[in-house]
Amino acid sequence: MIALALDFAFACFGAAMLMNMWVVAAGRTVEDRILALDTMVINAIALLILHGIWAGTAVFFEAAMIIAMLGFVSTVAYARFILRGNIIE
Amino acid sequence: MSLFLIAALPFLGAVLPALLVRASRNAAAGTAAGATALALIGVLTHAPAVMRGEVPMARAPWVPSLGLNANLMLDGLGLLFALLILGIGLLIILYARFYLTRRDPMGKFYALLLLFQGAMLGIVLSDNILMLLIFWELTSLSSFLLIGYWNHLPEGRQGARMALTVTGAGGLAMIAGALLLGQAAGSMELSDIIARREAVQASELYLPALILILAGCFAKSAQFPFHFWLPHAMAAPTPVSAYLHSATMVKAGLFLMARLWPALAGTDAWFLLAASVGLITMVLGAVTALFKDDLKGLLAYSTVSHLGLVTFLLGLGTPAGAVAAVFHIINHATFKAALFMTAGIVDHETGTRDIRRLGGLAAFMPVTFLIGAVAALSMAGVPPLNGFLSKEMMLHEAAHTAWLGSELALPVLAGLAALFSAAYSFRFVAHVFLGKPRLAHAEPPHDPVVWFWLPPAILASLTVLIGLFPQSMAGELVRAAAGAVTAGAAPEIKLKLWHGVNEALMISAAALAGGAAALALHGPLARVWAVVAPPAAKRAFDALVGAATAAARRLTDALHDGDFGRSAAIFSVFAAGLGAWAWTAGGAAPLGAFPAALGPTPPIPLIGWVCLVTATLTLTALHRHRLLALVLIGVTGLMVSLTFSYFSAPDLALTQISVEVVSIILLLLALNFMPRETPRESSAARRARDLAAAAAAGLGVGAAIYAILVGDFAFAPISEFHLANSKTGGGGENVVNVILVDFRGFDTFGEITVLGIAAVLIYALTETIMAGPVRARLLNRRPAEPQAGDAHPMMMVVATRVLMPIALTVAVYIFLRGHNAPGGGFIAGLIVSVAFVMQYMASGFSWAAARQRYPYHAFIGLGVLVAAATGMGAWFNGKPFLTSDFGYVKLPGLEKFELATAALFDLGVFLTVLGAVLLALESLARYAWRPNIASAHPMDIDPTRDEAAQREEGR
């Protein structure tokens, strides 16, 4: 049962990843692309955790945690750059 | 006293004057003199043993596999030179105390002087030819600094550069020659080399070694055609000239010729090279010296001439010649140093060194006159002074040697040199001290204080004493030194004043008379000389150096003209070409099939691959839009992190994620000052060419990776070793971390040092730029696009504040588990940096900087120090640097846990990374700083202010 659920989840997040990539590559505005990148980071967290469940190991947990904790900082920095130009005022 | 201590004393002493000059100038001079005197006493304690024929030694292996050992010895020759270096050094230190004025940095002078003294002492004490070379280069470097001591004078800087170029180039030849000689003799120990005369001279390496070594000696000892640097080095302060350019450094070349004399001398090649060059130098220097109007220029050329004399004597290859050479080295050091000091006193008191403007000083400065006259007459070779004795010996040798098939050539040329030597010595006395005063003095010059004239007076009285009682004053020293030079073949010579009437005496008398006549005719002769004088060597040297610089610049400009695309293209094509050449040369292992172990690719990694490729291709297409390019780079970074995770490299993944965030922030900070779009500047043809270069490089890298994937290992991989020894040897289960902090700890130590230096450099560059006119332009900068309202949005401020303690906790966790699980100091440092940078971004530069209590430089320095101290801790257990140790501790209430010194080392890594990243980011952020966005509050909305306003309203 868990294997089936894992396959389903992998398929969903994999597809999401590809769609994110589509927007990053061909999005209408820079803002769209930045948001897509941010979503991509979240999907990456999911994939890491899924992979950990699939392999039965906790070794990917820290990587996922650090992406979750720091990943948004780049998004904020991109956003600040668009809004203010200067990211450390 | 141990020879090691004697050799180290000047170096140890060099620190003191630089420190103590703040106390007083006397303290600086006193400590310099103290260190020198101690070393001199140390040498003197060995003197009786050396005189008996013993050779005290001190040995310590350094890099024995290269033949490099810190072996010292003190034989007769070494003793003679050590006494000269330290004895005259002591006088120079006293003299310089009164020569230098208040404006001259005296601590620096004494520090450099002692540095030079130590290097010179090292040369004469070395028993290992490789160590001798190290000291040899040190003398070149320290003399460069001493000649350029007055670095505000262009002549000083030019003279120093020229001296360094010539003696440095000679040093290179010397290194090559010494290595060849060591190979020919089969040992790098000088005492072995000089004992293997037959083996050396029979070797086919003998001639190249001889030529290279002599080239080095000639460059150092200002022999023709390398003599021109010495007169230009006269821009140095006079104590330096008196010390380096008369008594010590220029004699280093002579010393080495004398040192290697038993192994190298006695062949035709030696005679032809050394005796001829010495003779030419002797004559040329003497003639030129007569027509120099600068007091120090005259002395410089006379030094060139006298050095030529010693080279000539050594070049004769006869034991009697060697004795005369050793004796003249002593005599020349005494009278020439005295003369330089006299010239310095004259310059100091009258303000000029131009002989044409001087005259009649004897009436004003009787003491200086007496000293100068005695020393000059000794230089002229007037009996009964010491210069006469060694000159007689030289003339005697010259009269009995045939040169180039002629019996008469040597006596005539040597006599000519003696004639001009007498002439310029007489001129030194007559035109400076005698005659009518030619300078209008507002205040008549007078003799200086006694301490100023005492050093040359001591040397001048030595010239008289050695002249009158040669055997008792210098006989033993000359015997011991000549015995060392000739390896015991020196004849028993009694030094005496009167040898009876012989050829030498007759030549000498004729030379003195001729010298007086030449001086009388100086005016007309100078006019003739002005016409026939050989062209200045400086012009040729400048042309040569200029041509070399221009050629180097052309080559550099052709490869790097500042266009990054161009240099990247050159590099890519070159690397791809090298790879193709290596492949076609057929040295690569045969390729196997695509490894089955990798198996069919599962769909999720395939998706990652598609994302990576799409991002890269899109980036190539859109790279002119800079922000978009950065977003796409974000995708690449994310995919690389996931790849590291997928291929079981969690440490790398963690590092990659944190580095990614920091670099995006760094790049965004820089992007703020650049146009949003990269303009299209290159032509279509150029773009096609660049495309080809990029494709070649990319395909080449791809092919190389494929070859590595499917090829076999050329050597057994070392991962097995690391896996097997990580837990038992390094006490950690995380092999990556154990490699970083233990197996390859030395590399890591070097890397964090470089990282720290890089960050400090960024800071220094920022500091320099912000101090200049750029700052005003930055402050007046208008943003290119309209800005949104919130500078410090409340949402962001609150979020980052909440996240700060969480991030710090995670960092501590990652740091502590590093040794046994993915993590470690490097990643923890990056996480904490990002946590801090978030605060900078949220509340602004001013707010964050005001709350930063310790400067980031301190973190860098502390980190490197902690790592170094951890490494050095191993010394106390008798282990090599950075050997780690670990143990297990059981505390009540806790499970058993591990304590490892590697964790302390990792703490150093952590601190350095933290300091370096934040210093770099802070420096870059300072460019955008403006006074008007400094906010007293952490966010744009100040709740306390609103409360106050509400209270105001409610009232």
pLDDT tens per residue, range B172-186: 999 999 999 988 888
Q: Which of B604, B635, B672 sits opposite A37 (nearest CB)?
A: B635
Q: What's the mean pLDDT in B299-314?
A: 90
B933: nearest CA partner in chain A: A89
Contact B760, B919 (CB under 8 A): yes
DSSP B942-954: -HHHHHHHHHHHH
Phi, psi of B9, deg, nearest 5: -55, -50
Q: Does B335 or A86 have the greater pLDDT score?
A: B335
DSSP B474-523: IIHHHHHHHHHHTTT--------S---S-HHHHHHHHHHHHHHHHHHTHH
CA–centroid distance for B247 within its chain = 24
Contact B841 A88 (CB under 8 A): yes
Contact B844 A84 (CB under 8 A): no
Give the pLDDT score at B440. 65
ipTM of the complex: 0.97
pLDDT tens per residue, range B469-490: 888 778 788 888 888 888 777 6
Phi, psi of B899, deg, nearest 5: -120, 125
Give the pLDDT score at B361. 80
- For residue B933, what pLDDT band results from cuts at 50, 70 and 90? low
| Integer Cα distance of B373 and B426 in angstroms | 9
Residue A57, domain extent: 2-84
Residue B889, in any domain of the structure:
yes
Sort out which chain B residues have CB atoms less than 8 A from A51's CB and list them. Answer: 604, 645-646
Contact B668 A77 (CB under 8 A): yes
**Nearest CA to B381 among B367, B397, B371, B395?**
B395
Residue B954, in any domain of the structure:
yes
Distance in Å, alpha carbon of A2 to nearest chain B alpha carbon: 18
Contact B657 A24 (CB under 8 A): no
| Integer Cα distance of B13 and B34 in angstroms | 8
- For residue B914, what pLDDT band results from cuts at 50, 70 and 90? very high
Contact B841 A74 (CB under 8 A): no
Give the pLDDT score at B171. 92
Q: Does B887 or B214 have the greater pLDDT score?
A: B214
List helix spans (H) across B561-625.
564-584, 603-622
Residue A20, in any domain of the structure:
yes
Query: What burial class does residue B751 get, using C-beta atoms within 10 Å of its C-beta: 0-12 exposed, 13-18 middle, 19+ buried?
Result: middle
Residues 6 or more apart from A31 whose CB is under 8 A from it?
A: A82
CA-based torsion, B207, B210, B214, B216: positive or negative: positive
Question: What tokens does B893 get?
Answer: 């209430």
Distances (CA, A) of B69 to B3, B44, B126, B263, B888: 14, 25, 10, 20, 42
| Integer Cα distance of B80 and B313 in angstroms | 17
Q: Which of B635, B669, B791 sits opposite A24 (nearest CB)?
A: B635
Give the pLDDT score at B591. 66
Give the count of beta carbons closer than 10 Å to the beta carbon of residue B786: 7
| Integer Cα distance of B364 and A20 in angstroms | 96
B832: nearest CA partner in chain A: A70
Cβ-Cβ contacts under 8 Å between A and B: the total is 157
- B491 pLDDT above the threshold of 80: no
A20: nearest CA partner in chain B: B611
Residue B12, in any domain of the structure:
no
Q: Which of B631, B657, B787 sits opposite A34 (nearest CB)?
A: B631
**Nearest CA to A66 among B922, B609, B794, B644?**
B644
Give the pLDDT score at A11. 93
pLDDT tens per residue, range B741-760: 888 888 999 999 999 999 99
Distance in Å, alpha carbon of A4 to nearest chain B alpha carbon: 15
Question: What tokens does B286 get?
Answer: 């003497």
Give the pLDDT score at B594. 59
Q: What's the mean pLDDT in B293-322?
A: 88
DSSP B113-150: HHHHHHHHHHHHHB-BHHHHHHHHHHHHHHHHHHHTSS
Q: How many residues does chain A have?
A: 89
Residue B931, domain extent: 736-782+789-955
Give the pLDDT score at B588. 62
Distance in Å, alpha carbon of A3 to nearest chain B alpha carbon: 15
Phi, psi of B60, deg, nearest 5: -155, 130
Contact B794, B625 (CB under 8 A): no
In the block, residue with structure tokens 């190290």: B134
Give the count of beta carbons closer than 10 Å to the beta carbon of residue B114: 29
Residue B345, in any domain of the structure:
yes
Classify strands B61-63 and B57-58 as parallel, antiparallel or unpaired.
Answer: unpaired
Residue B508, in any domain of the structure:
yes
Phi, psi of A88, deg, nearest 5: -120, 100
Amino acid identity of residue B663, one-letter, is: S
Q: What's the mean pLDDT in B427-433?
A: 85
Contact B199/A at CB under 8 A: no
In the listed set B520, B545, B562, which residue is the last one of a domain according to the structure?
B520
Query: What's the half-sphere exposure (Cβ side, CA atoms, 13 Å) at B447?
Result: 17
pLDDT tens per residue, range B617-645: 999 888 889 999 999 999 999 999 999 98
Residue B513, in any domain of the structure:
yes
Give the pLDDT score at B664. 92
Residue A89, in any domain of the structure:
no
Q: What's the mean pLDDT in B914-919?
A: 94
Query: What's the half-sphere exposure (Cβ side, CA atoms, 13 Å) at B471?
Result: 7
| Integer Cα distance of B727 and B742 in angstroms | 11
Query: What is the average pLDDT score of chain B?
Result: 85
Give the pLDDT score at B547. 94
pLDDT tens per residue, range B365-423: 888 888 888 998 888 888 888 888 888 888 888 887 777 667 777 888 888 888 888 88
Helix (H) / strand (E) containing B897: strand B897-900
C-alpha triplet B477, B482, B487: angle, nearest 5° = 130
Q: What's the mean pLDDT in B877-897?
A: 76
Sort out which chain A residues have CB atoms less than 8 A from B671's CB and list them. Answer: 81
Neighbouring-strand partners of residue B900 = B886
Contact A47 B642 (CB under 8 A): yes
- B596 pLDDT above the threshold of 60: no
Contact B516/A at CB under 8 A: no
Contact A74 B665 (CB under 8 A): yes
- B456 pLDDT above the threshold of 80: yes
Residue B216, in any domain of the structure:
no
Portion 659-688 of B in contact with A at CB < 8 A: 660-661, 664-665, 668-669, 671-672
B51-60, B503-512, B529-538, B899-908: segment of lowest average pLDDT: B529-538
Task: Express as a percent the part of chain B with pLDDT over 70.
Answer: 95
In a mutagenesis test of the B interface, which of A8, A20, A28, A70 is the best target, namely the one with the most B β-carbons within 10 Å?
A: A70
Contact B924, B763 (CB under 8 A): no
Q: Which of B603, B654, B933 sits opposite A89 (nearest CB)?
A: B933
Sort out which chain A residues have CB atoms less than 8 A from B608's CB and list them. Answer: 17
State how many domains chain A has.
1
In the block, residue with structure tokens 């009787």: B366
State how many domains chain B has.
2
pLDDT tens per residue, range B234-268: 888 888 888 888 878 889 999 999 988 888 888 88
**Nearest CA to B732 among B816, B648, B812, B828?**
B816
B814: nearest CA partner in chain A: A62
Sort out which chain A residues have CB atoms less than 8 A from B734's CB and list them. Answer: none
Classify strands B886-889 and B897-900 as parallel, antiparallel or unpaired.
Answer: antiparallel
Portion 117-146 of B in contact with A at CB < 8 A: none
pTM: 0.72
Q: What's the mean pLDDT in B63-72?
A: 84
B623: nearest CA partner in chain A: A25
Give the pLDDT score at B63. 81
- B936 pLDDT above the threshold of 70: no
Q: What's the mean pLDDT in B526-535?
A: 78
Query: What burial class does residue B861 get, using C-beta atoms within 10 Å of its C-beta: 0-12 exposed, 13-18 middle, 19+ buried?
Result: middle
Sort out which chain A residues have CB atoms less than 8 A from B614's CB and list them. Answer: 21, 25
Contact B391, B419 (CB under 8 A): no
- A48 pLDDT above the threshold of 80: yes
Give the pLDDT score at B579. 86
A40: nearest CA partner in chain B: B635
Q: What's the mean pLDDT in B45-71?
A: 84
Q: Which of B603, B646, B790 sits opposite A14 (nearest CB)?
A: B603
Sort out which chain B residues have CB atoms less than 8 A from A3's CB and list them. Answer: none
Distance in Å, alpha carbon of A73 to nearest chain B alpha carbon: 7
Residues 6 or more apart from B795 whose CB is under 8 A from it?
A: none
Question: What tokens does B263 get?
Answer: 């192994």
Residue B153, in any domain of the structure:
no
| Integer Cα distance of B734 and B820 in angstroms | 4
| Integer Cα distance of B77 and B258 in angstroms | 8
| Integer Cα distance of B217 and B214 in angstroms | 5
Q: What is the 3-state secondary structure (H, E, C) of B357-383?
A: HCCCHHHHCHHHHHHHHHHHHHHHCCC
* DSSP state for residue B275 in the 8-state scheme: I
Distance in Å, alpha carbon of B612 to nearest chain A alpha carbon: 9
- For residue B352, what pLDDT band results from cuts at 50, 70 and 90? confident
Give the pLDDT score at B158. 86
Distance in Å, alpha carbon of A75 to nearest chain B alpha carbon: 9
Q: For residue B793, give the 3-state DSSP assignment.
A: coil
B70-74, B83-87, B382-386: segment of lowest average pLDDT: B382-386
Largest CA distance in chain A: 53
Contact B247/A at CB under 8 A: no
Chain A: residues touching B (Cβ < 8 Å): 10, 14, 17-18, 21, 24-26, 30, 33-34, 37, 40-41, 44, 47-48, 51, 59-60, 62-63, 65-67, 69-71, 73-74, 76-78, 80-89
- For residue B944, what pLDDT band results from cuts at 50, 70 and 90? low
Give the pLDDT score at A89. 78
Neighbouring-strand partners of residue B128 = B189
- B851 pLDDT above the threshold of 90: no
- B824 pLDDT above the threshold of 70: yes
Give the pLDDT score at B382. 83
* DSSP state for residue B409 in the 8-state scheme: H
Q: What's the mean pLDDT in B266-271?
A: 86
- For residue B935, what pLDDT band results from cuts at 50, 70 and 90? low
Amino acid identity of residue B79, one-letter, is: L
CA–centroid distance for B450 within its chain = 38
Distance in Å, alpha carbon of A43 to nearest chain B alpha carbon: 11
In the listed set B520, B541, B560, which residue is the last one of a domain according to the structure?
B520
Q: What's the mean pLDDT in B814-834?
A: 88
Q: Which of B604, B627, B660 sits opposite A30 (nearest CB)?
A: B627
Contact B658 A70 (CB under 8 A): yes
Give the pLDDT score at B934. 57
Contact B604 A88 (CB under 8 A): no
In a mutagenesis test of the A interface, which of B609, B667, B672, B927 is the best target, namely the one with the most A β-carbons within 10 Å?
A: B672
CA–centroid distance for B31 within its chain = 25
- B924 pLDDT above the threshold of 70: yes
Residue A42, in any domain of the structure:
yes
Phi, psi of B874, deg, nearest 5: -60, -30
B635: nearest CA partner in chain A: A37
B615: nearest CA partner in chain A: A25
* DSSP state for residue B625 in the 8-state scheme: B
Q: What's the mean pLDDT in B316-343?
A: 88
- For residue B874, what pLDDT band results from cuts at 50, 70 and 90? confident
